[in-house]
Structure 1
């Protein structure tokens, strides 16, 4: 049940997924299914945030190269 909610909140992973996962973690903590469910949310959240950071760094490098090309 919880894994389905995690998948629904994060497929595809967007900035809204972060708030959905945080809300899901709060629901899990309040209603207490299991610690594994909370850990699953945290794992998906961490993976998603790492993905965003990696994409942001890639875009920044690409933008920098484009600026260098434009002004050379």
Structure 2
């Protein structure tokens, strides 16, 4: 089978995305993940706050103690 060189119109370079595009896509993925993590943290904090508010307080000596 003879070795075939790519023609100028079908350059390998045209199939490789530019570095700036790859960096922008990676940055977009990073921001989406960051937003997801922030939403998860906020939800967990809200859940913890609600669970803490539901716990009963008991009197211990002169001070109240909430679990």
TM-score range, shorter chain: 0.5 to 0.7
TM superposition outliers: structure 1 runs of 4+ over 6 Å: none
Measured against aligned partners, the alpha-carbon deviations of 1:11-69 in whole angstroms (never above 9, x if no partner) come to: xxxxxxxxxxxxxxxxxxxx312011100110000111111111111111000011111
Backbone CA RMSD of aligned residues: 1.0
Structure of greater Rg? 2
How many residue pairs get aligned? The number is: 42
User: TM-score w.r.t. structure 2 length?
Assistant: 0.57
Gaps of 5+ in 1: 1-30
Gaps of 5+ in 2: 1-14, 57-67
- Is 1:37 aligned to 2:37, yes or no? no
- RCO higher in 1 or 2 (8 Å CA, sep ≥ 6)? 1
